A and B are shown apart, each in its own frame.
Chain A
Amino acid sequence: MLKILKYSFYDLIRSRWSYVYFLFYLILGFVLLFLNNDVSKAVITLMNVIIVLIPLIGTIFGVMYYYNSREFTELLLAQPINRTSIFMGQYLGVAGSLTMSLVLGLGIPFLLYGLLRSDAIFDFSLLLVTGSFLTFIFVGLSFVIAISNENKIKGFGYAVLLWLFLAVVYDGLFLMSLIVFEEYPLDTFSLVATMLNPIDLSRILILLKLDISALLGYTGAIFKKFFGTDLGFLVSMAILLCWTVLPVLGLGYKAKRKDF
């Protein structure tokens, strides 16, 4: 598995996509800091970028990589190698290289601009951690989609739809249901609904640090407990971890049963 991981990893680096991705974040980081010169403000802007872009790029990269390396995968399958380790190796290779581009690309400009001396370091590392989680989750989901669909166009379509649904449509439906049922006590519902979407979940995790004063403005007891203590942070982290493990399990399940 490690060998395949290494191969996928170097393959991506050789194909320059990792560089492009890395440079994108590097430039983004520098531009943000150059325009604002204020680390805390840049963290807020970055949050929007991370929550929208990382899932999109993770999804598209995952699907693309799977379809592109299909022939090589078939070759590997002919070898006496465990199926799980082939797919896990590829998955970890893609997700790992994307995460590395993200962490280095954003980390370098922030380090140069004196992040270590700023008190925003915790917010920033939280940003990188959730970003990494999102990469792993969405690469995993896209692999599952790709492995379930032989047709490339269909696979791409589903993957982009998935992103669109989780990033935009879900929140719209969520908002509608909150307004339609506003007569009822909704604080448990809204927290649970947030947990069911990894993008919302990461957003909440970052909000816990950035906008805590606004979040505490609402009266619900469950809200208060969730946002007012460390409980919210721990629960969100745990569920984010579940979200990472689930697609991986799905991938393993699909890989074992698929007829190539």
Chain B
Amino acid sequence: MKTPYHTYILCLIFSLLGQGIWAKTWKICTTCEYSSIKQTIQLAKAHDTLLVQKGTYREYEIVVDKPLVIKGTDYPIVDGEKKGEIFQIQSDGVTLDGLFIINVGVSYTKDNAAIRVIRSKDFRIQNMVLEQLFFGIYLEKSSHGKVYHNRIIGEAVDEYNSGNGIQLWYSSDIEVSKNHVQGTRDGIYLEFSDRITITGNTSMDNLRYGLHFMFSNNDIYTQNTFENNGAGVAVMFSKFITMKDNTFRKNWGTAAYGMLLKEINDAEIIGNTFEENTIGINIEGSNRIRYTNNDFIGNGWAIRVIGACYTNSFRGNNFLYNSFDISYNSKLNDNVFEGNFWSGYTGYDLDKDGIGDVPYRPVKLFSYVVNRTPETIVLLRSLFMDIIDFSERVSPVFTPDNLKDAQPLMKIRS
């Protein structure tokens, strides 16, 4: 039987619509010839496009082992029925776009993820919606990819049986941008991952950290918002990290920090806003960090220095209405405070150069007392404490003598 010639034309059109001349587009829908994503992937050749139509696909452990574009139209639902992992990308050059993935299987022995990328390059994961998940997007030993504009909404209640929103493990050169992560354990988690750019994400209401760095160097994160996370943002054991123009808000609790820095060296912290956190930045064992032009507004402690922090510099920051501006637990100080604006500053500027003529001492004696006996926090802002703080400020005994801002700004840096 002779094939009608218009079939050839259709084939030609379809292949032109695809990525290369030889690429084919497969249409998947619940009532079509191809109704399963998994089977269609097996049939497809490299560089083909799979268009998933609206509908519900009950599938899990879908292995993508060739460079394919899998694109959803009107957010088709891929339902893993809590049986295990859903997408596993094991090839370079895979694009996932516009799918709605739900019901990842929770396991106590395996880190099941909605999308796992294994040893692959040049992937793109974009416009996905992940709900009812364990781990969200898990990048494992992968590089040069992009995770863009995804929505990850978990319902984590306990730390032991919940996973991370976006996890990068031994990955490098990846861009994570414009994602929204909420209700997971760690919103975005990086371990042994270098040269990662994290931009414009929102991470909120997570159980533990909004963003968590471990052993990851040369990373940049900018313009992200971290709000109401169990413990804020933690940056640990990493070098050469740039943090710029991020917002850290309302991280309240006994161990909640806007940002927790532990063993961080040579980082840049510029133009961030820390607002209404219990502790704005908690610094421990971190050296050569430059804090410039940040805003600390209404925090319990704007900056708490725990120990072993050397050669850090704080310049041009605004400290506004924090209960404590800076808290130290030792008498040693090797950090520089210069040209900041302090809302508690009461000095004068006789030569009118915009810089106060008397130095400002940001550490109150009361913060020492609170470090030692935490219950004394109920005496905050009492007349008695004010008198003691005043006498300490006049002649420092307990606080480091050289810990002062010799050039406090008279006007707020705008």
Contacts and interface: CB of A to CB of B under 8 A. Distances in A.
Given A190-B376, A213-B252, 6 more contacts: A168-B384, A171-B384, A211-B381, A213-B298, A216-B253, A217-B301
Interface stretch (B13-21, B181-189, B274-282): B274-282
A152 interface: no
Given A171-B379, A172-B384, A203-B381, A178 B254 contact: no
Contact of B380 (A52, A168, A182, A215): A215
A83 interface: no
A142 to B, nearest CB: 19
Interface of A: 40-41, 44, 47-48, 51-52, 167-168, 171-172, 174-175, 178-179, 182, 186-187, 189-191, 194, 200, 203-204, 207, 211-220, 223-224
Nearest to A184: B375
B360 interface: no
B10 interface: no
A216 B254 contact: yes
B382 A44 contact: no
A47 B387 CA distance: 16
B: contact size bracket: 20 to 34
Contacts, number: 102
B2 to A, nearest CB: 78
B300 A215 contact: yes
11 contacts: A51-B383, A174-B379, A191-B378, A203-B382, A204-B378, A207-B380, A213-B277, A213-B300, A214-B278, A215-B377, A216-B256
A40 B376 CA distance: 25
Contacts of A212: 252
Main secondary structure of the interface of A (DSSP, over half): helix
B321 A40 contact: yes
Contacts of A44: 321
Contact of A217 (B279, B381, B386): B279
Interface of B: 252-254, 256, 276-279, 298-301, 321, 323-324, 343, 369, 372-387
Contacts of B278: 213-214, 216-217
A204 B369 CA distance: 18
Contact of A175 (B301, B343, B369): B369
Determine which residue in B277, B299, B381 has the highest number of CB atoms from chain A within 10 A of its CB, and name it. Answer: B381
A218 B377 contact: yes
Contacts of A207: 380-381
A179 B376 contact: yes
Nearest to B304: A217
A201 to B, nearest CB: 10
Nearest to A218: B374
Nearest to B255: A219
Contacts of B323: 211, 213-214
A217 B379 CA distance: 14
Given A213-B277, A216-B254, A216-B300, A171 B383 contact: yes
B253 A182 contact: no
A232 to B, nearest CB: 11
A187 B380 CA distance: 15
B254 A218 contact: yes
Given A168-B384, A200-B382, A214-B300, A190 B375 contact: yes
B413 to A, nearest CB: 15
Contacts of A219: 254, 374
Given A178-B373, A178-B376, A179-B373, A217 B254 contact: yes
A131 to B, nearest CB: 15
Contacts of A40: 321
A207 B301 CA distance: 15
A230 to B, nearest CB: 15
Contacts of A211: 300, 323, 380-381
Nearest to B412: A38
Contacts of B385: 171, 175
Contacts of A178: 373, 375-376
B301 A214 contact: yes
A7 B369 CA distance: 50
Nearest to A215: B377
A218 B383 contact: no
B398 to A, nearest CB: 13
Nearest to B343: A41
A214 B378 CA distance: 10
A242 B27 CA distance: 75
A41 B276 CA distance: 15
Contacts of A194: 378
B356 to A, nearest CB: 15
B376 A175 contact: yes
Nearest to B251: A213
B235 to A, nearest CB: 20
A151 to B, nearest CB: 29
